[in-house]
Amino acid sequence: MSDRTPRFDPAEIEAERQAAWAERGDFEAPRPEPGQARVYVKPSSPFTSGNLHMGHVRDYSLGDAYARFRRGRGDAVLFGFGFDAFGLPAELAAIERQVPPAEWVEKSGEQMLGQMRRLGYSFDYDRVFYSSDESQYRWSQWLFLTLFEAGLIYREDATVDWCDTCNTTLATIQVEDGLCWRCHNEVRLIRRPTWFLRITPYLEENDRNTERLQNWNELALATQHYILGRSDGVELDLAGAGRELTVFSPHRAALGLATFVLLSPRHPEIDAWIGDGARDELEQLRSGGWERSARDAREVPVIDTGARIAGPAGDELPVFVSPLVDARFGPTAALGVPAVDEADAEIAKRMLGGSSNPVEREEGEEPPSAPPVEGARESVHYRANDFSISRQRSWGTPIPIIHCEEHGAVPVPEADLPVVLPRDILPTGEGNPLDERPDFVDVPCPVCGAPAKRETDTLDCHFDALFLWVPAAVPPEARSEQMFTHPDLQEWLPAERLVAGGDSGGFVFDQRIVTKALRDIGPFAFMEEGEPFAGCLFHEMVIADGRKMSKHLGNVVDPDELVGKFGADTVRFAILRAAGPAKTLNWSEGEIKFASRFLRNVWTYSQDRFVALEEHRHDPEAAADTEHLRDRLRKWCEAGLEKVTEDTGELQMHQAIRNITRLFERIGQYEKRVMQRRGQLDRADAEAQVAALVLLARTLVPFAPHTAEALLLASGRVDPETLGAWPEQVDIPVAFEDPTPAGT
Contacts with Zn ion in 694-733 (CB under 5 A)?
Answer: none
Give 160 or 404: the residue with its C-beta nearer to Zn ion: 404
Count residues binding Zn ion (CB under 5 A).
12
Query: In the complex with Zn ion, which residue's Cβ is closer, 342 or 406?
Result: 406
**Of the two residues 407 and 453, which places its CB atom closer to Zn ion in the complex?**
407
Nearest distance in Å: CB 601, Zn ion: 58
Task: Kindly tell me which of 193 and 739 has the beta carbon lying closer to Zn ion.
Answer: 193
Residue 163 interacts with Zn ion (CB under 5 A): yes or no: yes
Q: Which of 191/407 has CB closer to Zn ion? A: 407
Dihedral angle, C-alpha 436, 439, 445, 446, nearest 10 ° = -130
Q: Is residue 252 within the footprint of Zn ion (CB under 5 A)?
A: no
Q: How far is the CB of 183 from Zn ion (least distance, A)?
A: 3
Cβ distance to Zn ion smaller for residue 188 or 662 = 188
Query: What distance in Å separates the CA atoms of residue 744 and residue 739, rounded to the nearest whole number?
Result: 11
Asked whether position 165 contacts Zn ion by CB under 5 A, the answer is yes
Site stretch for Zn ion (CB under 5 A), options 12-20, 183-191, 214-222, 256-264: 183-191
Q: Let me know if 280 is exposed, middle or buried by CB neighbors in 10 A (0-12, 13-18, 19+).
A: exposed
Cα–Cα distance between 125 and 136 in angstroms, integer? 16
Minimum CB–partner distance for residue 413 and Zn ion (Å): 13
Q: Does 173 bind Zn ion (CB under 5 A)?
A: no
Residues in the chain: 744
Identity at 80, one-letter amino acid code: G
CB 410 within 8 A of CB 445: yes
- Is the Cβ of residue 180 or residue 557 nearer to Zn ion in the bound state? 180
Nearer to Zn ion, 94 or 723 (CB): 94
Helix %, strand %, coil % of the chain (to 5) = 45, 20, 40
- Rule CB under 5 A: say whether 445 interacts with Zn ion: yes
Is residue 167 at the binding interface for Zn ion, with CB under 5 A as the rule?
no
Helix or strand or coil: residue 597?
Answer: helix
Could you say which residues in the range 19-48 bind Zn ion, by CB under 5 A? none
Query: Least separation, in Å, of the C-beta of 165 and Zn ion?
Result: 4
Quote the longest CA-to-CA distance of the chain.
110
> Counting beta carbons within 10 angstroms of the beta carbon of residue 239, is it exposed (0 to 12), middle (13 to 18) or buried (19 or more)?
exposed
Q: In the window 296-335, what residues touch Zn ion (CB under 5 A)?
A: none
Q: Pick from 39, 77, 88, 166: which binds Zn ion (CB under 5 A)?
A: 166
Select 445 or 660, whichever has its Cβ closest to Zn ion. Answer: 445
We find the least distance from the C-beta atom of residue 585 to Zn ion, in angstroms, to be 38
- Of the residues 183, 294, 525, 735, which one makes contact with Zn ion according to CB under 5 A: 183
Site string for Zn ion, 392-431 (x = CB under 5 A): ------------x-xx------------------------
Mark 114-153 with x for binding to Zn ion (rule: CB under 5 A) and - for no binding: ----------------------------------------
H, E, C per residue of 700-717? HCCCCHHHHHHHHHHHCC
Q: For residues 445 and 695, which CB has a smaller minimum distance to Zn ion in the complex?
A: 445
- Output the smallest distance, CB 402 to Zn ion, in A: 8
Task: Choose the binding region for Zn ion from 100-108, 165-173, 226-234, 254-262 (rule: CB under 5 A).
Answer: 165-173
Query: DSSP 3-state assignment of 379?
Result: strand
Instruction: Say how many CA atoms lie within 13 Å of 386 toward its Cβ.
Output: 18
Write a three-state SS string for 381-421: EECCCCEECEECCCCCEECCEEEECCCEEEECCHHHCCCCC
92's CB contacts (< 8 A; 6+ apart) are none
The helix/strand/coil state of 10 is helix
Q: Please enumerate, as own/partner, the contacts of 3-8 that have beta carbons within 8 Å and a separation of 24 or more.
A: 4/611, 5/604, 5/607, 5/608, 5/611, 6/607, 6/714, 8/599, 8/600, 8/603, 8/604, 8/707
Task: Using the minimum distance from each CB to Zn ion, give the nearer residue, 451 or 668.
Answer: 451
Sign of the CA dihedral with 522 first, then 526, 529, and 533 last: negative
DSSP for 415-440? GG---PPPTT----SSS-GGGG-HHH
Q: Does 180 bind Zn ion (CB under 5 A)?
A: yes
295/339 Cα distance (integer angstroms) = 21
Beta-ladder partners of 544: 547, 587
188 touches Zn ion (CB under 5 A) = no
Could you say which residues in the range 446-475 bind Zn ion, by CB under 5 A?
A: 447-448
Is 294 among the residues that bind Zn ion (CB under 5 A)? no
Of 175 and 213, which CB lies nearer to Zn ion in the complex structure?
175
Stretch of 62-70, 437-445, 509-517, 600-608 contacting Zn ion, by CB under 5 A: 437-445
Q: Which stretch binds Zn ion (CB under 5 A): 106-114, 439-447, 572-580, 708-716?
A: 439-447
Instruction: Output the smallest distance, CB 466 to Zn ion, in A.
Output: 29
Q: Write down the least CB distance from residue 333 to Zn ion, Å.
A: 39
The residues that touch Zn ion, with contacts defined as CB under 5 A, are: 163, 165-166, 180, 182-183, 404, 406-407, 445, 447-448
